[in-house]
Chains A and B, each alone.
Chain A
Amino acid sequence: MRLAGKGLIDRSTPVTFTFDGRSYQGYRGDTLASALLANDVRLVGRSFKYHRPRGILTAGSEEPNAMVEILEGNQQTPNVRATVQEVFDGLQARSQNRFPSLKFDLLGINNLAAPFLSAGFYYKTFMWPRPFWEKLYEPLIRRAAGLGSLSGRHDEAQYEKAWAFCDLLVIGSGPAGLMAAWTAAQAGADVILAEEDARMGGRLVSDNLRVDGQPGADWVEALLDDLKAMPNVRLMPRTTVTGAYDDGTYGALERVGLHRAPAPHLPRECFWRIVAGQTVLAAGALERPIAFPDNDRPGIMLASALRSYLHRYGVVPGNRITLIANNDAARATARDLMAAGVKVVAILDTRPDATALEDCPVYLNAQITGTAGHLGLTAITFRHAGGTATLETDCLAMSGGWNPTVHLTCHMNGRPLWREDIAAFIPAEGAVPRLTPAGACNGTFSTAGAFRDGLAAAHTALAALGRPAPDMALPMAEDAPYTITPFWQTPGVEGRQWLDFANDVTTKDVKLSAQENFRSVEHMKRYTTQGMAPDQGKNSNVAALAVLADATGRGIPQTGTTTFRPPFVPTSIAAMGAGGRGAGFAPQRFLTSDQASRDRGAPMIEAGLWYRPSYFPKPGEKTWLEACNREVTMVRESVGVSDVSTLGKIDIQGRDAARFLDLVYTNTFSTLPVGRVRYGLMLREDGHVLDDGTTARLAEHRYLMTTTTAAAGLVMRHLDFVHQAFCADWDVRFLSVTEAWAQFAIAGPRARDLLATLLGAAPDLPFMGVTDVSLGSTPARLFRISFSGEEGYELAVPTRYGEALFRDLVARAETMGGGPYGMEALNVLRIEKGFITHAEIHGRTTAFDIGMEKMVSAKKDCIGKAAAARPGMIGPDREQLVGLRASSAMTAGAHLFTPGDKVHRETDQGYITSVCWSPTLSAHLALAFVKDGRARHGTRIRVVDHLRKIDVLAEITDPVFHDKEGAKLRA
C-alpha cells in the first residue's frame, strides 16, 4: 500500500511494468520490490529446496527470497533481486523456480517430504543400483535444483570494462562514507564515492533521521550538490564494490543500463577496476532475521526494510503490523509506522528487561512459537513474560540485531573479530592494507558515531596520503547507544526455523550436522549448504554460527566463522568478461595480403593470432585437397608464392651478436659468413627443443633471426632473459622486426625466372644466401632459403608495400603457370621434404629425437646443452623422428605398433605427428616418432587410429622423402 506524501520517489513519473504477465504501476525511483509491495503483491518467489512461498525480506542486494527473471527481447536475466531492480516503463519481470505457477507450485510437495530431505540426505542414498544415479536420480535432482533460467541464447548485449584511479575510494555513501568523502574532497584528494544504491545517503535516506536539524535526505542532497561541483570528486551511484584485491585494487560493478529500456551501445553493466591509494569502507551493516518456526512466510520482513519502504518509497507492506526485536534500535520501526498512521498490532521484545515506551502493546521476553498463512502471513503465536498469545497480523517486522558489512575486509584472508557487546563481527585491524572501516561496518551504529568515524577514517587516509586534513565540523545527529541482547532462535519448540532462507537451511539442519560430527563451521556450512545460496549467508551466517555454537557447547568466537570471498554481490560473467565475446577475446593479426587472399576465395585459418590462407580454390575444384594438390604440383613444377610474414623476425646487432647467437643456438653462428644464412636449433634450458629457424648474417655485427610463427613471442622473451640474466654487459641489442617487413616465399623451378622479371635480372645468389635488392625505389631483401625443397627465395619489403608486392608476385607467377599457395600446400611441401614444425617440436622433443644431436656443438656451451645430456633424454628408448610411407591414408595422432603385437598401451611404439597425400610421390606420407626409429628404416609398422578407424601398414623411412640430396635446393 502506498502512503500519500511519503517517500523520495518521483510521483510525477509513473511507470508501468509487468510481473508474471500482470501489469502494475509504480513510480520512477521505485524498486521492483517497493512497487510490488505498493500494489500489495506479497508472494514473489519460491524457495530453492522446499519450494516454500516467499515474499520480500529486505530492501537491499542481500535479498534471499525475492529473486525474479527480467525479460528483455529474446533474453532473460535470472535471479535478479527485486529489491535492487529499479522499475521503468516496459520492465517485464517473472517469478522463477515454480511450476506451473507461483501460487500453485507442484514441487511444493518437497515441503511435505522435508523430514526425508534433511541436511546431507543425498550423501546417504541414491547409491544403488549404480546406473540409476546418472539415469534417474541425478536428472531428477538437477531438474528440481537451480533457481532462474538463462535464455540459452548468446548474450549479445553491450557490456563494458573500465579503469579508475583515485587517492581515496569511499565505499558506501551513508553518514560515515559521506563524511569521509567530504573531508577528503576538502583536502583536495581525488575521491571516488561508490554507492550500491541508485540514491546516495544510506540510512539517511531510509530512516527518519535528522542531521543539523534538517531531514536526513535534504542534508544529503545539499552535500551531494557540493560534491558534484568538485572536479576532484567522482560519484558512482549504482556501483557495488565487489572485491578487494592486492595493492589497492578493487573490482566494482556499475549497473549502467539496467534501470531503463535498452539503448544502442549503452552497456547493461560496467565492471570497474578501481585503483585507490587509500580506501574508507563505509558499507554499513545488515540487519539479521530471527529464527522461529515458519519464519519464512511472505509478510515477514526485516524491520529496517520496513523503514526503508516507508521513508524511501512511501510504502507499507501490511495493514496490521507486528514487530519482534532484540534491540532498541528496531523499535523505531513501530514508532515510525504509527507516526505514519499505520496500525501496529504489537511489539514483541525478546528481552525480559526492555522498557515499553510505545503507544501499542509491548510484550517482553517474547518468543514466537508459530506463524500461520499459506501464501502470506496471517497470524503469529508467541509466548511472553505473561503467557502465550496469538495475534492476527499480515506483516511482521523482525530484527535480530545488526551485522557489520565486513565482507570486503575478509577478501584478503582477514578474519573478523567477535564483539560481545554488539553480538557481531567487526573487521580485524589491517585486514586489507590501506583500508579503514568506518561507521556501521565497523560496529559504530549511531548516526553521530558514523559521522565521527567517517571523519576519523578520512584523517587516517589523508595522513597516509601525505595531505593535511582540513578542519571539519561534525554534523549534529542522533547518538543513541546500541543495546542488544542476542536472541537467535526460539528454544524448545517443534517446527522448522529458517536460517538460510534461500537454501532452505533450518536450525534443525545445523543441529543435525553437529550430531553427525560435522562440527567445524566449514563442515557445517558444506554439509548443510548454509550460506552457500545467492546471498552467501549475509542474512544467516552469524545466526547459524550461534546455533552451531550452542549445539556444540562452544562460544561463537571459538566456533569461528566461514570466509567471505569475492564477489560481494553476484556479478555477471558478461560484465567481468566484457570485450571477450566474439573476436574480442584476443587481438586479430592481419597480413598485408589478407584482402588479396580473401579476394581469391581463400578460406582463412588462425595461426598464432594471424589469419593465413588455407588454399586458393580454382573454379571447378570441389575439395580443399584438389586445390592443395594443384598448389603442391605448381610449386614442384613451376612457381608458387606464399605470404610468410608471420614468421618471427628479430634484428640482432652488436659486437657480441655472434657470441650471443652461439649461446642461444645449439650450433655455431660466429662462423657464418656475411651474406649467408644458416639453419639454427634452439633449446630450452631443460634440454628440449624450443624453436628452429634460419638466421642470416647481414653484416659483421648484424644478424636477422627467423622464428616460427607460433614461437615468435616465446623466443623474444627467451632472448631477453638470456641477455638480461647472463650477459647484460655484452654489446648486443635486438628488436623484433616481424611487423616491419612483409615477406613472401617464391618457390619452384621457375622461381628464379619470376625474380628475373621482377628484378630485371636473375638473382645470382647461392643457396642459403642473402642480399639487398631494389624494387624500383623500394628497398628489399632477398633470401635464398626454402621450406618446400624446391629452389626457393624469400623476398621482404617494408610492410606498407606488402599488399602491392603480393599482388604483383602472384600476377607474375600466374603468367608462368604458377600462382599463390596456402598453408595446406605449404604443409605438404614441407612434409615431403621432411622439414619439421611445431607438430614435431611439440615441447617434449629433444635434438636427439629429431636426429639433430650433431647440431649441438661440442665446442661450446649453449642454453639447454647440459640438461639435454641427461640419460632420459637420449637413447634407443626414445621415440625418434622417421618418415612413414603407405599406400592408404594415415592420420596424424594415430599410434604405431609392431605388426603382430597386440594393440595396447604397453606395446605402443610411437605416433604420427603429420600426414599428407603427396601428389609428388603419389603416396601417403607421414612424419612420426617411433621408438628406436632410426634403426628401423625399411621395416613395416602398423598404424592404428581408433578414433578415425584407420588400421594400415606403413614402411618406416628416412623423414626426407623428396630430393634427399638437396639438388633442387642448390640448383
Chain B
Amino acid sequence: MPELIAKSALAGHAPVTRLQTTLAEGSAAPITSVAPYPGRMDRVNAALAPLGLAFPAPNGQTRQGAARLIWTGRDQAFLIGAPAPDGLADHAALTDQTDGWAILTLTGPVAEATLMRPVPLDLRLGAFPPLRTVRAPLNHMQAILTRTAPDAFEIMVFRSMARTAWGELTEALEVLAARAQTA
C-alpha cells in the first residue's frame, strides 16, 4: 500500500490580491470538536487546563500558543492546533473535524468591506473585534468566521463548498477593486 497523498480543499487556488487585500487558503490542524456533556463543564475545563485553555463563551475563543479553542455552536467548540488532552473524552464528545472544513483567510484593508457583501453581520471593528468567532452564513453556506486581527479574517466553510466560497469572495473583492478604480 503506497502512502495516500493528502490534498487540501483549495489546492491549486493561488492567492488573490486586490486593493492590498489577499484571499488565500489557510490551514489548521488538527481540529477536534469538543462537546461537553450536560453538567460537566468544570471537568471539561479541568481537562483543558494543561493546554492553558478553557471552554470559550459563545462567539469567543480561548488561546494559548498555537492552540486555540473556538466556539462553534450550542455546547460545542473546536480545539485547533493541539490534540485533545487526556481525560477530555470522559466529559465531552470529541469528534475529529480536521478534514471537514476548508479554511480561507482574508487579510488587508478591505477585508471587512469584502466580507460585508456575503456575510449578513455587523463586522465593524467595534461590533466585531479581533478574536471574535461566530457561526454565520457566507451567502448560502454555513461558515465559522473569526476576526484574527483588525484587518484579517479566517473563514471556515464545509470542505465540499470551498470552491463556491472562494468564488464568491473573489468576486466581492473584484467588485470592490472596480469600484475603487472608478470612484
Contact = CB atoms under 8 A, between A and B. Distances in A.
A74 interface: no
Nearest to A799: B99
B6 interface: yes
B136 to A, nearest CB: 11
B177 A735 contact: no
B95 interface: yes
A776 B37 contact: no
A808 B4 contact: yes
A798 B179 CA distance: 42
B4 A775 contact: yes
Interface stretch (B52-60, B61-69, B158-166): B158-166
A747 B117 CA distance: 46
B124 A190 contact: yes
A265 interface: yes
A740 B156 CA distance: 13
A265 B182 CA distance: 11
Contact of A804 (B7, B139, B158): B7
Contact of B117 (A163, A260, A776): A163
Interface in A650-708: 651, 653-655
A30 B76 CA distance: 58
Contacts of A519: none
Contacts of B117: 160-163
A158 B116 contact: no
Contacts of A623: none
Interface stretch (A460-468, A527-535, A582-590): A582-590
A740 B178 contact: no
A589 B140 CA distance: 12
A740 B127 CA distance: 32
A275 B2 CA distance: 55
A135 to B, nearest CB: 44
Interface string B145-175: 0000000000000111101110010011011
B76 A797 contact: no
Contacts, number: 148
A44 interface: no
Contacts of A805: 4
B101 A739 contact: yes
Interface in A546-599: 579, 583-584, 586-592
A800 B120 CA distance: 30
A275 B182 CA distance: 27
B93 A776 contact: no
Interface residues of A, number: 64
A383 interface: no
Given A588-B163, A805-B4, A808-B4, A733 B35 contact: yes
A760 interface: yes
Interface in B17-43: 33, 35, 37-38
Given A273-B120, A735-B76, 13 more contacts: A164-B116, A256-B179, A263-B178, A263-B181, A731-B37, A731-B38, A733-B76, A740-B95, A740-B100, A776-B4, A800-B99, A804-B6, A808-B4
Interface of A: 158, 160-165, 190, 256-257, 260, 263-267, 273, 275, 579, 583-584, 586-592, 610, 651, 653-655, 724, 728-731, 733-741, 758-760, 775-778, 797-805, 808
30 contacts: A160-B172, A160-B175, A163-B119, A165-B124, A165-B127, A263-B178, A265-B174, A266-B181, A275-B122, A589-B158, A592-B7, A651-B95, A653-B35, A654-B37, A654-B93, A730-B38, A733-B35, A735-B76, A736-B100, A737-B97, A739-B101, A739-B158, A740-B95, A740-B100, A798-B98, A801-B5, A802-B7, A804-B5, A808-B2, A808-B4
The 4 closest A-B pairs by CB, nearest first: A733-B93, A265-B178, A653-B93, A740-B100
